[in-house]
Chains A and B, each alone.
Chain A
Amino acid sequence: MTNVLAVESLSKQYGPTTAVDGISFQVARNEIVGLVGPNGAGKTTTINIILGVLEPTGGSIRIEGIDVATERSRALECTNFAAVYAPLPGNLTVYQNLRIFGMIYAVKRLSDRIERLLRDFDLERFRDVKAGVLSSGEQTRLCLAKAMLNEPHLLLLDEPTASLDPATAQDMRAKIRALADERRCGVLWTSHNMYEVEDVCDRVLLLSRGKILLEGDPKTLPRAHGKDTLEELFIAVARE
């Protein structure tokens, strides 16, 4: 397995506060890595740094071997993201949003790609509906469709199923799993739903106060630390 994302000694300091404290990890092709941790652990900060919207204090990030600090545009061409706190503009329709972001990612055969995504994410009937009037679950599906536009090699998902009902969340997990398996895509996935992480992630990184405290297979990691479930392990770490 080759790495699609390589994070090395990454740190972010806000004055006296350390948000991310020298973390290193990789995401391989076909791999879904869960980034979990309590609120304020540094998960979103890490994702923002990888996306190039936040400058790290130290360390390096390489996406497909491309340094984000020096070749941001090229690195982000093969990356995409969906985050629960970054809905697409509500004053544009579903189709308009996908077209604009498809152009920004320079997607080839864009019209065909949009039609495919509208079908895959069950958004066809909302094609000409403004994104702002969609339910939160429908908006999340739109964000995920946007995240798939450029068939990314690296997909960053910040609580992607937070506002989805259990059935839709399961469908989305299956789609993302299929993307990782079929498209040789690496996924970095943050979630507070430990059952979801256990179900979908190949590997989990447990982050607390900006450091990676534990790393391993989400199915075997709890037992290795004397806990029955990942949720129990998470709670124990969060309360330390």
Chain B
Amino acid sequence: MTTVRTAAIVLRHLYLVSGSPARMLPLFAWVAIDMVLWGFITKYLNAVSAAGFDFVPVFLGAVLLWDFFTRVMHGVTMAFMEDVWSRNFLNIFATPLSISEYVGGLVLSSIATSSVGLVVMLFLASSIFGLSFFAYGIALIPFLLVLFLFGIALGILGAAIVLRFGPASEWFIWPVPALVSPFAGVFYPISTLPRWMQHICWALPPSYIFENVRAIVAGGTASVSELMVGAGLAVIDVILVCWVFVRVYRHSVRTGLIARYSAESVS
């Protein structure tokens, strides 16, 4: 693995983002709008609910963490889609670049872009709505880490789906976070859900995070064992989707999909 090749993929993405307001704005605009919207919703709920319960760390904190996960996933997918949109597969894959260098570049690009969103969200949530992440204590680190890993996993899975089924399948990818959110218990305890949904919840790493966010806000402590299960699942997911991506790539090389993607396009 050559770091300079991975750096090339990151640099490509930085060139694209820095040279295009249409790419720059979504890095922070949508998450900023989410923070403002949910910030005022939580303030309103605080005003009308029984005294003593603070909705800010429950809802606004959850939205912030969920948006972070979404930005990470979309960060990977966006970096990949740039090659789809510019019909660059043949140029990219007919080079010495290995799949691990390429995927590594997508992940690093996502870290760079999602960090911008995270900083903006933290600034708005703390300065305007008084959300303090110190309230989560040291558990904030595994919270962010697990959501980051799961975002990477879904981002790579999204890239594999688009590579396998063609550019039009990108429309399967963007709504994935919305599809996952009812099962992740972002806004409500998992116990609220019917039994069959709970089975799915416990297979998703974010469920363990949001259960523990609520536990801390309720005055309890984070469960180390639950966070370890969440982290373990996230690591397994990353390994699994990397395997899937390599399988899809090999299938594309065997069938000529990579070459046709650029030369003729696949509808």
Contact = CB atoms under 8 A, between A and B. Distances in A.
- Same assembly: yes
Interface in A84-126: 85-93, 96, 99-101, 103-106
Given A73-B96, A89-B86, A103 B91 contact: no
A105 B16 contact: no
Contacts of A101: 8, 91, 95
Interface string B113-124: 000000000000
A86 B254 contact: no
A100 B262 contact: no
Q: Size range of the interface on A?
A: 20 to 34
A186 to B, nearest CB: 17
A53 interface: yes
Given A81-B94, A103-B11, A48 B256 contact: yes
B95 A104 contact: yes
The secondary structure that dominates the A interface is mixed
A146 B8 CA distance: 14
A66 B12 CA distance: 29
Interface string B254-267: 10101100110000
A103 B4 contact: yes
Contacts of A45: 256
Contact of B2 (A55, A72, A86, A106): A106
B262 A85 contact: yes
A76 interface: yes
B98 interface: yes
Given A77-B96, A101-B95, A83 B90 contact: yes
Contacts of A92: 12, 15-16
Contact of B263 (A77, A85, A99): A85
B262 A91 contact: no
B11 A99 contact: yes
A61 B42 CA distance: 64
B259 A53 contact: yes
Given A76-B96, A81-B94, A104 B8 contact: yes
A53 B194 CA distance: 47
Interface in B226-258: 250, 253-254, 256, 258
A52 B94 CA distance: 6
Contacts of A81: 94
B263 A105 contact: no
Given A53-B94, A92-B15, A44 B263 contact: yes
B176 interface: no
B86 A53 contact: no
Given A55-B253, A91-B20, A104-B97, A86 B8 contact: no
Given A74-B96, A86-B91, A91 B259 contact: no
Contact of A100 (B8, B98, B253, B259): B8
A221 interface: no
Question: Would you list the 5 A-B pairs with minimal beta carbon distance, nearest first?
Answer: A103-B8, A89-B86, A51-B94, A73-B96, A48-B259
Given A53-B93, A81-B94, A86-B90, 8 more contacts: A48-B90, A52-B94, A53-B253, A54-B259, A76-B96, A88-B88, A105-B96, A146-B91
